[in-house]
Amino acid sequence: MRPRYFTKRYEAPERVASAARHHAWLAEHARPLRLPALTVVGPTSLTYEWVDGRPARPEDLLALAALLGDAHGAAWITDLRPSSLNTPHRFRDGIAFGDYISPRQTALRRRLEQGYLADRGALHAMLTLLEKTAEGPTAFYKDSNPRNFLITEAGDIYTVDTDDLTLAPMGYDLAKLIATMILTHGPLPASTIDSALRAYNEAAESHDRQLGTTDRERLDDFLALHAVLTAPYAGRNGYRCSWRPRSCPRGSA
């Protein structure tokens, strides 16, 4: 059988270089993640090996949570330990990927302009919550959602769409996965979320005990942020549900 490939195209060479750099960083520092091999870097495109797999489903959440905890722990041990959440993280060539605070401040202000926050008081509350969560060991954020993980028939998990990285606290990207799982499939039982958090913490603390300390209150803070940040996408791009009860079309789960 001939090898198959997937080519992703970009508007500018700078985006190509950034996406390739992020893929290489994850391959080096987040080795628990299985990434499709990057085979060709073109002027405005990247070509990867093809992966036959399905998007993640709620029954995969426990395994994905453990995978994220393992990857975040590995990255902290190998590169992120000295990083600050408020400062962009620099690669060896001096180019950086984003800090935690500033891109999310910009996004929250945009949500006010778009009408997803009621008023400036609501914006202030969300900005205060963002500042509150900017503490503890530093992980990376790669926009985890069900479509960014492919599960093969053999049960292998591939992580895809790794173009954009920022810094984030431990547990933040797990919250994004839970939030988008809810947007895709509908509400999750509280016990399922608790089990996912426990799996994440156990995997993270296998690298260092201080990494497995995300509690449910902190996870809920992250979920509150994601509820606002993902609000424009509810009902679009495969997110058929929303945070409102009974807002998921029948048969979407």
Q: Which two tokens stand for residue 142?
A: 């790669």
Q: How far apart are CA 170 and CA 211, in angstroms?
A: 7
118: in domain: yes
Q: How many domains does the chain have?
A: 1
Average of pLDDT values for 198-227? 97
Tell me if residue 175 falls in helix, strand or coil. Answer: helix
Contact 203, 196 (CB under 8 A): no
Q: What is the pLDDT of residue 253?
A: 43
Provide the residue range defining the domain that includes 107.
Answer: 53-233
pLDDT of residue 77 exceeding 90: yes
Residue 12 lies in a domain: no
Q: Is residue 8 part of a domain?
A: no
Spatial separation of the C-alpha atoms in residues 138 and 76, rounded to whole Å: 7
pLDDT tens string 85-119: 999 988 776 667 899 999 999 999 999 999 999 99
- Is the distance from CB of 196 to CB of 189 less than 8 angstroms? no
pLDDT at 2: 74
Which amino acid is it at 180? Answer: T
Whether 25 has a pLDDT exceeding 50, the answer reads yes
Residue 239 placed within a domain: no
User: What pLDDT shows up at residue 90?
Assistant: 85
Residue 28, domain member (yes or no): no
Q: What is the reported pTM?
A: 0.93
The dihedral of CA 109, 104, 90, 158: what is its sign?
Answer: negative
Does residue 14 fall inside a structural domain? no
| 8 Å CB contact between 192 and 237 | no
The answer to whether position 85 is within a domain reads yes
* Rounded to 5°, angle at Cα 76 from 73 and 81: 145
Q: Which helix (H) or strand (E) holds 227?
A: helix 216-229
pLDDT at 245: 47
* Residue pLDDT, tens place only, 157-203: 999 999 999 999 999 999 999 999 999 999 999 999 999 999 999 99
pLDDT tier, 42 (very low <50, low <70, confident <90, very high otherwise): very high
Who wins on pLDDT, 246 or 106?
Answer: 106
Distance CA 219, CA 170 (A): 10
Q: What is the CATH number of the domain that holds 173?
A: 3.90.1200.10
